[in-house]
Amino acid sequence: MAKKIKLKDTYRHRGLRLQLVKELKSKGIEDERILQAFMQVKRHYFLDPAFADWAYKDVAFPIDAGQTISQPYTVALQTDLLEVKKGDIILEVGTGSGFQACILAHMGAKVYTIERQRYLFEQTNNLLKEIGFAHIRTLYGDGYKGASRFAPFDKIIITAGATSIPQALIEQLKPGGIMVIPVGDGDVKSMVRIRKGKDGRLTKETHGYCRFVPLLEGKTGKKPKAVNKYVNLD
């Protein structure tokens, strides 16, 4: 992802977005608010201009700091599973490119998003301001610990693959809230939706399988050399 981009949105880009929306509908995404968000949030702004032709393909794509911008269908699915309501206070763990946070914000949520990579945090923070999403609250820190200062949250979304569910995130979820997290052993994770009852009890549902970059503890100020490309499974 480039540090500075020319904010151009052409008829071609809009046509490609329309094709992507049609593809998402064919895969079962029916919420018109999500589809409208995909029409309005320009995904090519989140990629280096040299790779703009990839922006509206339904695949994941590498960005900086060894991370990826998730497959559009996966972004739409996680958003759908969150059952977003206007005014929801949502914590996203794993800011990455910022695309998922923008989709949620476009739907009327108040978004807090936390990134462990200092390099990526600064880059994405600048991008969000440039493209009109400065109201998204970006945080630099350890996603495993969540953001207790701003808790509790109506919804929590984790955009990295976990081997277990961090207890701190469960504690920061409101009773009646929803968490969506890819979790499991190995490279392939189950997409899990967790509902927290008014009594604090948890119920879990699985919604298919996926691949993500790993959810790691701690935070780093260095830019990793390795770049991993993960493509989510249908």
Catalytic annotation, residues: 70
Q: Which residue spans within the chain are E strands per DSSP?
A: 61-62, 68-69, 89-93, 110-115, 137-140, 153-158, 173-183, 188-196, 202-211
Phi, psi of 11 (to 5 degrees): -60, -35
Residue type (1 letter), 110: K
Going by C-alpha positions, the residue among 96, 93, 73 that lies closest to residue 25 is 73
Report which DSSP code applies to 218.
S
The pair of structure tokens assigned to 67 is 């991370």
User: Rounded CA gap, 19 and 209, in Å?
Assistant: 24
- List the one residue out of 231, 128, 131 whose CA is nearest residue 188: 231
End-to-end CA distance of the chain: give it in Å, rounded: 25
Beta-strand relationship, 110-115 and 89-93? parallel
